[in-house]
């Protein structure tokens, strides 16, 4: 099974914790997984909340599509509040989505896995413009519905 198949088989609301390699402050993570029409893939609506920052309780929000293309490859398309453009990533290994000829201000990838039924792990990897991507922000969430 692919990550697309896993997510299609387990839609719903997932909640858990998000941790960051850059900070000791974590947050509550919420990811809503919904199937696309025709079963081509899913959408992920991903938010992180942290009451330790009352001026910015919602620290991150993104809308992501993970889907199969006509060419048979899986892609990830991300729109998030920290950028004014969409990011398009291509699956290079199962559940690992990376830039493939796309330009970016910094190295990045996203790794999504379902280590067990009802648990979703979503990891953002990124680094400085002249460096390598490293795992930075990780949400481990469990399905409520």
Q: Over the stretch 87-128, which tens digit does the pLDDT of each residue have?
A: 999 999 999 999 987 777 788 999 999 999 999 999 999 988
Instruction: Write down the pLDDT at residue 53.
Output: 75
Q: Examine the pLDDT at 60 and tell me if it is beyond 90.
A: no
Q: Over the stretch 14-58, which tens digit does the pLDDT of each residue have?
A: 999 999 887 776 789 999 999 999 999 999 999 998 877 778 778
Average pLDDT of the segment spanning 64-85: 90
- What are the residues whose beta carbons fall under 8 Å from the beta carbon of 51, sequence distance 6 or more? 57
- CA 55 to CA 13: how far, in whole Å? 26
Domain ranges in the chain? 3-143
- What are the residues whose beta carbons fall under 8 Å from the beta carbon of 112, sequence distance 6 or more? 3, 7, 66, 76, 95, 97, 120, 121, 122, 123
As a CATH number, domain 3-143 is 2.40.128.20
Per-residue pLDDT band at 145 (split at 50, 70, 90): low
Q: Examine the pLDDT at 6 and tell me if it is beyond 70.
A: yes
More confident: 59 or 9: 9
DSSP H/E element including 88:
strand 87-93
Question: CB burial class (10 A; 0-12, 13-18, 19+) of residue 44?
Answer: buried
């Amino acid at each position: 099974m692919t990550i697309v198949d896993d997510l299609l088989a387990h839609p719903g609301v997932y909640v858990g914790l998000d941790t960051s390699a850059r900070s000791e402050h974590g947050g509550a993570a919420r990811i809503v997984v919904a199937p696309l029409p025709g079963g081509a893939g899913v959408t992920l609506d991903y938010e992180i909340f942290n009451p330790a920052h009352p001026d910015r309780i919602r620290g991150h929000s993104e809308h992501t599509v993970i889907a199969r293309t006509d060419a048979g490859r899986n892609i990830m398309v991300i729109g998030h509040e920290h950028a004014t453009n969409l990011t398009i990533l291509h699956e290079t290994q199962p559940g690992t989505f990376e830039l493939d000829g796309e330009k970016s201000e910094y190295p990045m990838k996203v790794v999504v896995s379902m280590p067990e039924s009802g648990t979703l792990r979503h990891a953002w990897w990124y680094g400085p413009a002249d460096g390598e991507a490293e795992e930075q922000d990780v949400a481990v969430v469990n399905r409520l519905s």
